[in-house]
Structure 1
Amino acid sequence: MSQPRPPDPPRSAGLFDRQSDLGPVLAASEPHRQEKDMSSKRPARVIAGTTTLVTVVAAPLLVVPAPAQATFGTADIKPIESNIAAKPWASATGGSGSANAGLAIDGDPTTSWHPGGAAARQWLTVDLGGTYDNLRKVTAVFPDRGVAHRYVIEASSDGRRWKTIADRSHNRAVSRGEVHLFTRPETRFVRLTFTGGPGRARAGVSELRVFNYLRDDLTLGADLSWVDDVQDQQYWVAPLAEDRGAGPHLLDVAKDRGMQYARLRIFNEPRSESTGQPTPVPRQGPERSLASAQWIKQRDMGLGIDFHYADSWADPSKQPKPRRWAELDFADLSNAVHDFTADYLDRLIKQGTTPEKVAVGNEIINGFMYGSEAAHIGTTNPPYFVDQADVYQSKPGGGLLWKYWKSTDPAEQRLYDESWDRFTTLAAAGIKAVRDASPKSKVEIHVIVDKGTDGLAKTMEFWDQFLTRVKAKGQDPDVLAISYYPEWHGAPEALDHNLHTITTTYPGYEVDIAETAYPASGGDGSPVPGSPYPRTIQGQADAIQRVFQAANDVVNNRASGVLVWEPAGFQPMFRAVPELANTWEPHASVNVFNASRAKHILQDTVYTATTVGATPKLPSSIRVLTTANDKITGVPVRWQPLPPGATDKPGEVTVAGMTGAGPVTAVVDVVTPRGEHG
């Protein structure tokens, strides 16, 4: 469904300060994008690539820095780590028919699973809902303190064949938990089995956590179509430093900061959004985009092509036909879609720029290439589509008549079905063109999921109708993609739910987040609607990283990538440098592309115990897993001294430590010696 048109954004020196009207029409181009912060304020300069800071204080507390609140500043970006066992789609079962196994994965360490019967051979199995290739850490925490727990942890992809990842069946160390590092691709099930134990040890688990890390094959990138409009600007990692780093091309900085892939939108014949007249400079048109594709491939970045099948912006509220196709009969329109798509891909391939992925349409939840059916849709965008209705609405197109969805009126249901048939005929022509001209390219279909359950229901109806009908026409896409902007598409938890629903309903397809973005300023720093993250440099990094995490946590590794939409211009991750004309540098938040991937995974928590009045014995080294080679080694740790009296009474004490691979915490249970009371 279409969204209300937002006001035009403020202009500033930079990408939009051009004769072409493609920049200024951005406000009207994609109506679900209202936060266009192009502020001319120039606070203190950002030093991009800032090293992450960690504050360590004496026991018993580990203090983490608060998120930065400055408009421009640093960002504390840690590698993504996600407890899949706590996801809504994970479940737990336990031995002896116990009904409370879910308490072991509820995220609350004060609740526990306790099976009935003897401790030995009791088991707890966590089903993660699907397989994962980059699980690297399991943490087991037990309810009983001051005892030695004996157990084995195993992993499996199918629940039948198991591999041991931790054997503590002969454990004598007193502790109520341990962090175990492991590598086992295609893990779905994690099972903890108790093997008995001395004295008071009994079966029970407070928390069994299974941690996922960002996959190497999850592609992170951006739509960088405006790259054809920045030839007179220089982009540097640190433009005021003696060593400016990568640059001066925008793509040099983008690749250096971890963007692996760039998408280009293609307008058929670029025209003004308001008048429908050809723009003086045909930016994002086929010819200029050929050069942009070469720049991308010269840097060994992946290339995506996003056919809008329009002369200006196409999104959920506007999907105009290209002017040259507007008066074609429907059969000729279908042929034009095929031939234009195939011919352009052929040109890309001949110049050595075969795209990895091709999107047939952009955010086409409401169809595309609207024609005479627009009278039923009621669209008012773009202005030229309405003002020149005798041209653009003279023949049928591919607009969907959602107003008749679920109608019990036979005539309205017929109109609904006919609109779906026209739309999928055009879409199938585009898919076939990709298969014919560029069989190595994956085909993507890109929609949105509006806020609320009705939005997801509509999207699922879309996929059901679309996939059924294009298959009947002999075609099938590879990737089902959505956009995600919290102000329009819901909270991060809604994104998790939507991705899981799509993936598990249609398991034969990859899923993508084809567009996302978040502002680094504006609104006095308050979060945008639907988001918990402030509009700051830190908030921008956190919000975008949360989208990376959502994609990475999709079951069966089915998510293939996330693209940030126009990070050099829309809700930008770059800023102009006041001291240097036409020079731009990245915010520290752009480091989210590189910093989100873990190089080392620590045994970051050490559980141990000591008696009242005694000094705990803390290990001199802890384990670390290097992701590049899957090797687990030891790394020295330096512990902060305990403050006086820390163990004078029963309870819990935490001690901060530091290693060359990051911080670590010791959790010490202070217990009363056996035979004493207190």
Structure 2
Amino acid sequence: MRQLARSTALMCLALLLAATSSLPALGSVGGVGPSNPGFEQGLDGWKVSGDAGAAKIEGGGRTGDRLTHWVAADYHVTTRQSIELPSSGWWTVSVWAKSGGSLSGSTLSVAGCGRTVSTVVALTEQDDAWVRSAASVYVSRRQRCTIDLTTAGPGGTWASFDDLAVARGRVARSIRGGDLSGLAKNEAFGATYADADGRSGDAVRILARSGMNLGRLKVWVDPADGYNDKAHVVATGKRIKSAGMKLLVDFHYSDRWTDPGAQGVPHAWRGMSPAQLADAVYAHTRDVLAALKAAGATADYVQVGNEINPGMLWPWGQTWDVDPSDGVDGAQWDNLASFLTSGARAAKEISPSTKVLLHLTNINNGIGSLTWWFDEVVARQVPFDQIGLSYYGYWHGSLADLQEAVTTLSSRYDRDVLVVETAYPFTLADDTPTWENIIRQPDQLVPGYPATPTGQAAAFRAVQDAVASAEGGRGIGTVYWEPAWTSAAGAGWDPEDPSSGNAWENQALFDFTGTLLPAARNLAP
């Protein structure tokens, strides 16, 4: 009897294996995938159309072999495969890719099961590293779809693909924000704005109609020029909320700019002990956020500090010995933890639903430079909800570096990641009044992305897509830094120097006439 039961079980297993042998190979957990997803069997399972000779299998893939599209003359080629999505819901097709030679030359598309969804494969000329691209489609029932890998362009345009996968879920550019901190000052000095059709209007409304769904505002304690203080943050915050957007408040805890090179103590806080500084952080944070709430503009997100890799409120909150001559030796992690905790506590007291972010930069220094920092604050039980990063491609490494940061940080600390600053130039020219641009030379640009309106749009979208497509699915969006900071005489960068100018206007999302640029289309869902 036992032998019969065993034989029956083996027969059932054999029948089950036979019945499932024709189903698509499993991809990610909970998903299905194409056959031969890594091209280890050449082009088996794939069909090539167009200039078929342009599609070839090569070694040097991400894992094993790869599909490469390339030919010396103008060409158009598509390598495709039909797959079956077994049930209703959102499904995501992903591929690891490299490309070069022309903007928007290669795409990943999902077609034949509703609206065709496409994503442009990012240029990787910067470091030739693999970047994950992904496109999501919704199906209402079991349905067949087609995966298309397409490259088209002038001779020399190329792309390589490897390790396709299909899995349940959706990638989305959920947060499509913009930092409007400089808008109030710009408007006060005469800046005007118009949509892409030349119709004049409020920059906040123009950007919101383009699809921007979050506004970011920095706040200083007692700035010399009177801007970016509590009153201006509340006024602009109300405009952001009225336009239907969410609000992110970026606390610098200083009277002026803070970044890895400057984390100065506000003048009114000088001479305070670390304990008193923690109390001042709490009081200032609570005061600003309470004023916003009273005005009907409760902050949805709060940054406790800005680009605080080296700490904040130097030297008392430094993460390394910034100035060996100041009498405060070495890293002051316990002090920093108390400052961060005070800010987070104030934010949650005003609005428990407000998300608290901790914001770092310089991912080009390696993922270890970020995990080192977060390990220290996590060990001290600093409360935070999300991780914020700055990413400017001309400073902070490649898109592959960005994806590694998003994936590693979200996994290691179980938090979503938001890129709270990014930008790219639409020209290298300088508007009047002239003030030397920060990015002004061709050799400063990200390889493959020119300083043109089209290049700016492509570079911005590449960052958005890299964040959304990073493994783990916890890159929640991107905030464009100062899209409305056009050149206006008197509205310079230095709050203590009225004669200072604007070195950023060539990276705004409005051109030198104040007209909205094509890159703003990427603010749409």
Is the TM value for this pair above 0.5? yes
**Could you tell me which amino acid in structure 2 is paired with residue 542 of structure 1?**
A
Runs of at least 5 residues in structure 1 that lack an aligned partner in the other structure: 1-116, 157-161, 166-177, 193-205, 271-278, 381-388, 402-414, 578-583, 598-678
Structure-1 residue corresponding to 2:520: 590
Match of 2:511 among 575, 581, 594: 575
Correspondence 1:124 to 2:40? no
Alignment correspondent of 2:412: 505
Question: Does residue 183 of the first structure (1) align with residue 138 of the second (2)?
Answer: yes
Q: Which of 184, 187, 207 is equivalent to 1:228?
A: 184
Indicate the SS of the match to 2:394. Answer: helix
**How many percent of aligned residue pairs carry the same amino acid?**
25
Q: Answer yes or no: is the 8 Å Cα contact 1:266–1:285 preserved in 2.
A: yes
Cα 1:335/1:553, change in 2 over 3 Å: same
Shift of 1:211: 9.2
Cα distance per residue 1:328-385 (max 9 Å; x no partner): 11211111111111121111101101011000000101100003687973459xxxxx
Counterpart-to-counterpart distance in 1, 2:369 and 2:217: 28
Choose which of 279, 283, 290 in structure 2 pairs with 1:335: 279
* 1:650 corresponds to: none
Q: d(CA) in 1 for partners of 2:423 and 2:214?
A: 16
Aligned residues of 1:491 and 1:531 also touching (Cα < 8 A): no
Residues 1:431 and 2:386 aligned together: no
Q: Which has the higher contact order (CA 8 A, sep 6+)?
A: 1
Q: Counterpart of 2:371? A: 460
Quickly say closer, same or farther: Cα 1:211–1:236, change in 2 above 3 A: farther
Q: Which residue of 2 aligns with 1:377?
A: 321
Question: Does structure 1 residue 520 correspond to structure 2 residue 520?
Answer: no
- Distance, in Å, in 1 between the alignment partners of 2:315 and 2:309 is 16
Matched residues in 1 for 2:477 and 2:82: separation? Answer: 38
Q: Secondary structure at the match of 1:125?
A: coil
In the alignment, the residues of structure 2 paired with residue 537 and residue 164 of structure 1 have an alpha-carbon distance, to the nearest angstrom, of 33
**Aligned counterpart, 2:463:** 547
- What CA distance in whole angstroms lies between the structure 1 residues aligned with 2:90 and 2:227? 57
SS in 2 for 1:253: helix
Q: Secondary structure at the match of 1:573?
A: coil
Report how far residue 216 of structure 1 moved. Answer: 5.6
Which residue in the other structure is 1:422 paired with? 335
The separation in 1 between residues aligned to 2:472 and 2:367, in whole angstroms, is: 21
Q: Secondary structure at the match of 2:299?
A: coil
Using the TM superposition, give the Cα deviation of residue 213 of structure 1 relative to its aligned residue in structure 2, in angstroms.
10
Pairwise CA distance, 1:233: 2.8
Aligned to 2:480: 564
Which residue of structure 1 aligns with residue 153 of structure 2? none
Give the conservation status (yes or no) of the 8 Å contact 2:194–2:201.
yes
Q: What is the deviation of 1:267?
A: 0.5
Instruction: Flag structure 2 segments of 5+ consecutive residues without an equivalent.
Output: 1-17, 38-42, 48-80, 92-109, 114-136, 148-161, 429-438, 486-503
Residue of structure 2 in register with 1:304 after alignment: 248
1:538 partner amino acid: T
Picking from 488, 496, 499, the partner of 2:403 is 496
Q: Structure 1 residues 145 and 227, CA, compared in 2 at 3 Å: closer, same or farther?
A: closer
1:268/1:252 CA distance change after superposition, 3 Å = same
Question: For the residues of structure 2 that align with 1:212 and 1:498, how far apart are their CA atoms?
Answer: 23
Deviations 1:172-204 (A, max 9, x none): xxxxxx95635379xxxx9x9xxxxxxxxxxxx
Cα deviation for residue 534 of structure 1 reads 1.4
Tell me the amino acid that sits aligned with residue 483 of structure 2.
P
Task: For 1:449, give the aligned amino acid.
Answer: N
Aligned-pair distance for 1:547? Answer: 0.9
The question of whether the paired residues in 2 share the 8 Å contact of 1:360 and 1:444 is answered with yes
1:248 to 188, 201, 207: 201
Distance of 2:238 and 2:263 partners within structure 1 = 28
Contact 2:178-2:216 within 8 A present in 1 as well: yes
Question: What one-letter code is carried by the residue in structure 2 that aligns with 1:183?
Answer: Y
Contact 2:90 2:139 in 1 (8 A): no
Contact map agreement 2:282 2:343 (CA 8 A) in 1: yes
Contact 1:268–1:311 (Cα < 8 Å) also in 2: yes
**1:218 match:** 174
Compared CA separation, residues 486 and 311, structure 1 to 2 (3 A): same
- CA contact 1:154–1:163 (8 Å) conserved in 2: no
Cα offset for 1:250? 1.3
User: Does residue 287 of the first structure (1) align with residue 231 of the second (2)?
Assistant: yes
Query: Taking structure 1 as reference, are residues 125 and 235 closer, same or farther at Cα in structure 2, changes over 3 Å only?
Result: same
Q: In structure 1, what is the equivalent of residue 356 of structure 2? A: 443
CA deviations on 1:451-498 (whole Å, 9 max, x unpaired) are 25xx321111111111221x2xxx521111110011221011111112
Distance 1:447 1:155, change over 3 A: farther
Indicate how the Cα distance of structure 1 residues 376 and 499 shifts in structure 2: closer, same or farther if over 3 A, else same. closer
Please tell me the residue identity of whatever aligns with 1:330. P
Matched, 1:313 2:257: yes
Query: Which amino acid letter does the alignment assign opposite residue 514 of structure 1?
Result: V
- The TM-score, its normalising length taken from structure 2, stands at 0.64
**Structure-1-length-normalised TM-score:** 0.50
The answer (yes or no) to whether the contact 2:319–2:333 under 8 Å persists in 1 is: no
- Which string of whole-angstrom CA distances, capped at 9 and with x for unpartnered residues, describes residues 533-586 of structure 1? 111111111111011101211344322221010022231221232xxxxxx111
